[in-house]
Structure 1
């Protein structure tokens, strides 16, 4: 017997070998077809966004991988935006004036004493012996309290406090905490035996 010229032919089952090949070719050709969308004509193209303005920002190399912008920070422009963290020296007779003077010591500001003598003589609350990190403006307002308004003279770099406008109302009384009745435990019942 002579060997057959078709090495993959199995007697009576040649269609089983050709069928998967045809399916594979049909699937591959179906995936390769795409519908090309023609590009819009050049006359319809409009510039939606304006051209980006390239602004020169001066920088300097600081170390191997760091570039530092050569511009002052916001806290250097407005000194009240600097972040401070202070701990008032623990003396028994510390006043609000002592704390304010200690706070503005290295801030670039000085305290004006003539308008706020009443405030400066008040005793310092224990909660104010340590403040921060917080903005300088917020620290000054915290030490003064809500009854005083902050005035800043940037020309002379003075920080002043004036009494706030008080409405004719009753003195400030803290509100009692609201009680959640559903979270309370039921009242105790005493059992009386005869």
Structure 2
């Protein structure tokens, strides 16, 4: 069986560029990035919600609304200091790691939202 040739275009004498979007364009949460979060001088510290929103910035995705009582607990808890500067890593992996193993991340592609539910609640 013949494989389809990838579509490419010459952009310079020795340069071929693929016309297909690469993975990070099709799935923005698969981008590999590095983040450094700065604490505001007036605030007591960053929350995990701040960290999640920072990692989602520029992706076109946001956190689920309305915020449930369970999610409010996650978003208001303090962000561990190790997350003030992290990466390079995939955005989806960073989001799940910030939330921790007690939370399961789901992505709603239609609304471009990222949701977290407690792991024990998901199993019921």
The residue correspondences of 1:1-40 to structure 2 (distance < 5 A) are none
**Other-structure match for 1:64:** 13
- 1:82 equivalenced with 2:28 (yes/no): no
The residue correspondences of 1:107-146 to structure 2 (distance < 5 A) are 107-113=59-65, 114-115=67-68, 116-146=71-101
**Secondary structure of the equivalent of 2:12?**
coil
The one of 84, 90, 97 aligned to 2:49:
97
- Between the aligned partners of 2:120 and 2:23, the Cα distance in structure 1 is 31
Unaligned runs of 5+ in 2: none
Unaligned runs of 5+ in 1: 1-51, 167-194
**Other-structure match for 1:157:** 112
Kindly provide the CA deviation profile for residues 149-180 of structure 1, in whole angstroms up to 9, marking residues without a partner as x.
101100000001111118xxxxxxxxxxxxxx
The residue correspondences of 1:167-182 to structure 2 (distance < 5 A) are none
- Between the aligned partners of 1:158 and 1:54, the Cα distance in structure 2 is 36
- Between the aligned partners of 2:54 and 2:27, the Cα distance in structure 1 is 20
- State the Cα distance separating 1:57 from its structure 2 match: 2.4
- State the Cα distance separating 1:54 from its structure 2 match: 5.1
Runs of 4+ with >4 A deviation: none
Query: Which structure has greater strand proportion?
Result: 2
Query: Which structure has greater helix proportion?
Result: 2
Aligned CA-pair RMSD: 1.7
- State the Cα distance separating 1:142 from its structure 2 match: 1.1
- Between the aligned partners of 2:5 and 2:93, the Cα distance in structure 1 is 35
Select the structure with the greater relative contact order (CA < 8 A; seq sep ≥ 6): 2
**Secondary structure of the equivalent of 1:68?**
strand
**Secondary structure of the equivalent of 1:57?**
coil
Count of aligned pairs:
115
